[in-house]
Amino acid sequence: MNLRQIEVFRAVMSTGSVSDASRLLHVSVPAVSRMLSYTESRLGFPLFERIKGRLHPTEEARRLYHEVQLVYRGVDRIEDLIHELADRRHGLISVGASPSIGQMLVPQAIAQFHIGNPDVRIHFQCMTHALLKEQLLNRQIEVGVSTLPMDHPSLTTTPLASSRVVCICPPSHALATRTSVTVTDLLPYPLIAYPPDTPFGQRIDKLYREVGESPRVAIEAGLPHTACALVHAGAGIALVDEFLLRGWPGARFRILPVENAAPIVADLVHLRTESVSPVAEAFIRVLRNVLAQHDVAAPPAP
């Protein structure tokens, strides 16, 4: 089937009649009938049964229609991409970020960039590591900021910012008088922790395994942001990514760095095979300045 045959077949399937299909395609009824008959003769099997003057699709037609719809969805994606590429030339950037650094630091950079570039349209989302990688590879996002390693041969990463794992606790907690803690210091106290299959839950489990222990879980929170809210309300202690705390400037909890915990590095990520647009480059410069102002910018590579 060529594209014209597919177009006629789809029009008949979607409208239910030759006459409606002809109006949809802006051609005559005989032209649609001839194309449909010709297509069926080329295929060697009927696509429709003619019963009392009405067309009823065969099982083969229904299966074929499903595949045709997939083709048209692909065409729609091409059209969307064309519009996006045109917009990008005139001022569009799409940015995705891990939730911790994306809660406050990246939005501050976006706000600062927008003030100086009001005509540039910005798409921004916080998302999971898996979705961030998928959208970068599918070109739905031009620039990503990830706090987890983004290992893929089609992606290039550059260290952008560095953060610490910290313990947060209510001011009345026994640990509140300390300036830092070790994992051993935390052992007597149950944690507000995270599901073991989440990235930060796995990071905490690794910290405890290094001292031959497992965390005692009092409350399981789905997200570190939720853990911050629980500690703010006095529910207990939690381990969080220090990037996240930029969104809690007036919180009622103490912040204690965890000694010997590996730093959390946020990487700038984009497609290796494509250059970053000039607009995105300008945004990245603003983002680096914002991170430097917050004293979280990663040191230059040796």
Q: Is residue 302 part of a domain?
A: no
* pLDDT the model gives residue 157: 94
- Whichever domain contains 42, its CATH number is 1.10.10.10
Helix (DSSP H) and strand (DSSP E) numbers for the chain: 11, 12
* Stronger pLDDT, 247 or 102, i.e. the higher one: 102
**Averaging pLDDT over each range in 1-5, 75-79, 87-91, 139-143, which range is the top one?**
139-143
With a pLDDT cut of 90, the percent of the chain lying above it is 53
Q: Is residue 300 part of a domain?
A: no
Q: Do residue 120 and residue 242 come from a single domain?
A: no
* 145/265 Cα distance (integer angstroms): 10
Q: Do residue 273 and residue 153 come from a single domain?
A: yes
* pLDDT the model gives residue 199: 85
* 130/197 Cα distance (integer angstroms): 13
Q: Do residue 156 and residue 182 come from a single domain?
A: no
* 183/168 Cα distance (integer angstroms): 13
* pLDDT the model gives residue 301: 53
Domain limit, last residue, from 52, 85, 118 = 85
Q: Do residue 96 and residue 175 come from a single domain?
A: no
* pLDDT the model gives residue 277: 87
Q: Do residue 136 and residue 268 come from a single domain?
A: yes
Q: Is residue 15 part of a domain?
A: yes
Domain limit, last residue, from 66, 85, 104 = 85
Domain limit, last residue, from 56, 85, 114 = 85
Q: Is residue 62 part of a domain?
A: yes
* 122/273 Cα distance (integer angstroms): 22
Could you read off the pLDDT of 118-161 as tens digits, one per residue? Answer: 888 899 999 989 999 999 999 889 999 999 989 899 999 999 99
pLDDT class for 237, splitting at 50, 70, 90?
Answer: very high
Q: Is residue 38 part of a domain?
A: yes
- Whichever domain contains 232, its CATH number is 3.40.190.10
Could you read off the pLDDT of 148-202 as tens digits, one per residue? Answer: 989 899 999 999 999 999 999 999 999 999 999 999 999 999 999 999 888 889 9
Domain with 225, as residue range(s), is 165-257
pLDDT class for 302, splitting at 50, 70, 90?
Answer: very low
Q: Is residue 298 part of a domain?
A: no
Q: Do residue 170 and residue 251 come from a single domain?
A: yes
pLDDT at 282 over 80: yes
Residue found under tokens 């031009």 = 142
Q: Do residue 271 and residue 151 come from a single domain?
A: yes
pLDDT at 221 over 60: yes
Q: Give the chain's domain count.
A: 3
